[in-house]
Chains A and B, each alone.
Chain A
Amino acid sequence: MSSHAAAATLDPHDDPTTTTGIPNKKLLMWAFLASDCMFFGCLISTHLIYRLHPPPGTPSARQVFSIELTSFSTFILLMSSLMMALAVNAIQKGNLKSMRWSLLTTIFFGLIFLGCQVYEFRNFVFEKHLTITNSILGTTFFTLTGTHGLHVLIGVIWLTAMLIYSFTGRLTEKQSIDVESMGLYWHFVDIVWIVIFTAVYLLEYI
């Protein structure tokens, strides 16, 4: 304890009330993310197994995908991670105003990503005639990327709720762990997208 008192600022990485010093909420989020790893692992495996056995006459992924658009939305999602990190940093220093701007940008980037996905889905269904029912590629592609999109959507709702909550005056640097664990979730969703981008999109161009 004495070392903390000497430091004179709140150390967000240490919680003296828990056995390990790791805040409970952070540990919970890490354990949940381990679970979510298995979740996406199974879904991505399904896609990778099924892409090896396309029945004749189904559209090939390369004809359908538009790598330029997906590369752009991937970049945007990565930038949202940067803004998320800045938001966590700001609240840990007690800088609410800076945190709000960072959160707002994160939400904005998240929405751009979702917008790109909606555009992509509509384009695939109406222009390229790839639907969730007409081929195994459509089945695994829409289920996998749709599930990821749902994760992003939940993240955006969470971010928005936190942004609104910050105006009630109840969010201070003492509650920075709430923003930090939300950040862990957001970064995880981004990392999963990197894996999906590689395993679902880039793989088709090798």
Chain B
Amino acid sequence: MEALAKTDFIAKDDQPAKPLVLWRPTAKTGLISWLTTVDHKRIGFLYGLSALFFFIFGGLEALAIRLQLAVPNNTFLTSAQYSEMFTMHGTTMIFLVVMPMGAAFFNFIMPLQIGARDVAFPRLNAFSFWTFVVGAIVLNIGWFTKDGAPDAGWFGYAPLTTRTFSPTHAIDMWVMGLQLLGVASIAAALNFIVTIINMRAPGMTMMRLPVFTWMTLFTSFLIVLSFPAITIALIEIMMDRLFGTNFFEVSSGGLPILWQHLFWIFGHPEVYILILPAMGIISEILPTFSRKPLFGYPIVVFSGASIGFLGFGVWSHHMFTTGMGTTATAAFSMMTMAIAVPTGVKIFNWIGTLWGGHITMRTPMMFAIGFLWMFMLGGLSGIMHSAAPADAQQHGSYFIVAHFHYVLIGGSLFALFAGIQYWFPLMFGRMISEFWGKVTFWLVFVGFNVTFFPMHFLGLEGMPRRTFTYDANMGWATGNLFATIGAFILAIGVATFFISMIYAFFKGERAHKDQWDGRTLEWSLPVPPPEYNFAVIPTVHARDGWWYAKKHASEIAKETAEHAKEDEAHGGIHMPNQSIYPFLASVGILIGAIGVAVVDHDPSPGFWGTKVAITILGGAIMFVSVLLWACEGADGFHIHLNADGSVREDGGHH
């Protein structure tokens, strides 16, 4: 009866008909092992690597922007190149850097924090990553074609993006690229939701979840519920561009303002998609280095929930100058002020965590405290925008640029850097040099402030965004020169970070288990964690589960030994099989997307042509891959641990 009640995923004692498998990859090293991996840690690593790769691109684009604006009437870039730069800088940093860097931590850390051996759907997880890569490729193909890169801003306002005003394929690529990134994000988020709700270790109740896991859950819900809005907006603009529909065609009754509403219904929750993971990371680091539990844990969790909830009701504060009417403006004004409350509550909880703690100033802690301060500055200028009359003055000026860089760099990026420094010993078993870590922090901190603080003044002096040059008599020269110098200091800081990270990866000092004397379950693992994560699934007895385990070592050791015996009796540790189909499905999507977005329209009338053929070919590859993926089934194999910790694999795959 026990056996009957178990799902396929965990164990199957009897052997039913063999699954329909064409090829079962088993490589543990080499290219094939990476293309077919379903290990959440490897996928997390791939996400992180891609994010850092695109961070270099986004950074170079930013430097090009700053070089162009360094002096008045500069000719370093043409206005057309400048438009490509700021469009791709924004799109890259948001969708290809901060989101995947968050996804890297969700993948690597979250399953470890809840005591799971993988995510709920390992192959779907691989599909999410490969589709993300495909989206990133489609977004950037324009650099290598005659059409150039997308150049209509990361917000892509219609009717600028309609065929009339952007006739080349650049916008098609932007539309298709974002569409695919949306698919990837939604698939990943669904997976994380199921994992957190359904894969927790025994005793890990919801109110014992580490705050980073909570924030992963909220972020995932925001992704699942907000991305459909941009999906629809992108479908509508794509229909307009490809088939000549009238969604944003004013002469036929279309309303371009609809694009703004749909975009920001997605766009504002997106802001919280970028910041909630950061808040989660900070909520892990501050207690660890203050040697105190998180102050007001339930309040921090519920604040996160209310931020996520209210985040859906503030989108129109991006549109105060569109003339929505007094009632709408007042309502969105008030909601925007309201959302500052839970954020402020969190800040006080973090300060409460520091208060009276035994503070150790290691690099992650410095970035975390830098986050607190810088994010608060960004938050304060954010509250200024909630007052619609004030916002009408600041709208479209460098004041806005200053504001969102304070929350996205001073907020998200500082926290992500802190997270890298904090979890690096766990992920790779090596330490990033403390000295170079601190040098990084000060360079980044100083460079960041020198770049973006003057932008507040530039904005209030009337310097508009997205303008590729300015006259010397506008009074903006000094501020811009400062900002450019700051950008290069920031770039040196980031370069230092990259070099110290790469050095640490290959030659860094060996880390030991539980490097920071942590509180959450991921620190109970050997460094780097083995493929199966937990030799024995832990039982959680308190909110800071690993801390409790350390304080009750003998009791936990007895419990673990018992559970190890039970596990062995159930057939050992279950591991999911590798699969090539998620990767192949993404390849099909890439071919189809190139057909839709890159290939020229066929000049001759009629349905069949190169464009349609390539699109259908891509779709067919995807369809067949998904079919084989389904037939292959979600089964796996068992491994057993010998007394010395070495791994013994079961003969048959099941």
Contacts and interface: CB of A to CB of B under 8 A. Distances in A.
Given A23-B7, A136-B246, A143 B198 contact: no
Given A28-B121, A170-B16, A139 B239 contact: yes
Interface of B: 1-2, 4-10, 16-17, 19-20, 120-121, 186, 190-191, 193-194, 197-200, 204, 224-229, 231-233, 235-236, 239, 243-247, 252-255, 258, 262, 265, 627, 630-631, 633
B255 A53 contact: yes
Nearest to A28: B194
A58 B258 contact: no
B217 to A, nearest CB: 11
Given A46-B232, A135-B253, A20 B197 contact: yes
Given A19-B198, A35-B228, A54 B245 contact: no
A24 B120 contact: yes
Contact of B193 (A10, A27, A175): A27
Closest 3 CB pairs of A and B: A136-B253, A39-B228, A38-B228
B246 A135 contact: yes
A202 B228 CA distance: 26
Interface residues of A, number: 52
Given A42-B233, A55-B253, A174-B4, 9 more contacts: A5-B5, A17-B6, A17-B7, A27-B197, A42-B228, A46-B232, A58-B253, A132-B245, A139-B246
Contacts of A170: 16-17, 19-20, 633
B620 to A, nearest CB: 13
A206 interface: no
A57 to B, nearest CB: 10
Given A19-B200, A36-B228, A50 B17 contact: no
B255 A50 contact: yes
A136 B197 CA distance: 43
B231 to A, nearest CB: 6
A165 interface: yes
A112 interface: no
Interface in A7-65: 8, 10-11, 15-20, 22-24, 27-28, 31-32, 34-36, 38-39, 41-43, 46, 49-50, 53-55, 58
Nearest to A58: B253
19 contacts: A5-B1, A10-B4, A19-B198, A24-B7, A27-B193, A27-B197, A28-B194, A34-B224, A38-B225, A42-B232, A43-B232, A133-B245, A139-B239, A139-B246, A143-B236, A143-B247, A170-B20, A172-B16, A174-B7
A10 B1 CA distance: 9
Contacts of A97: none
Among B1, B6, B8, B255, residue most surrounded by chain A Cβ atoms (within 10 Å):
B1
Contact of B6 (A16, A147, A175): A16
B121 A49 contact: no
Contacts of A1: 2, 5
Given A24-B9, A31-B193, A53 B121 contact: no
Nearest to A157: B623
Contacts of B8: 174-175
Contacts of A38: 225-226, 228-229
A10 B2 CA distance: 10
Contacts of B232: 39, 42-43, 46
A132 B631 CA distance: 38
B631 A28 contact: no
A161 B627 contact: yes
Contact of B243 (A4, A24, A35, A132): A132
B246 A15 contact: no
A55 to B, nearest CB: 4
Nearest to B12: A174
A49 B199 CA distance: 42
A11 B199 CA distance: 20
A46 B252 contact: no
Contact of B5 (A16, A19, A35, A136): A16
Given A34-B225, A46-B247, A143-B235, A27 B255 contact: no
Contact of A27 (B6, B194, B224): B194
Nearest to A147: B235
A152 to B, nearest CB: 17
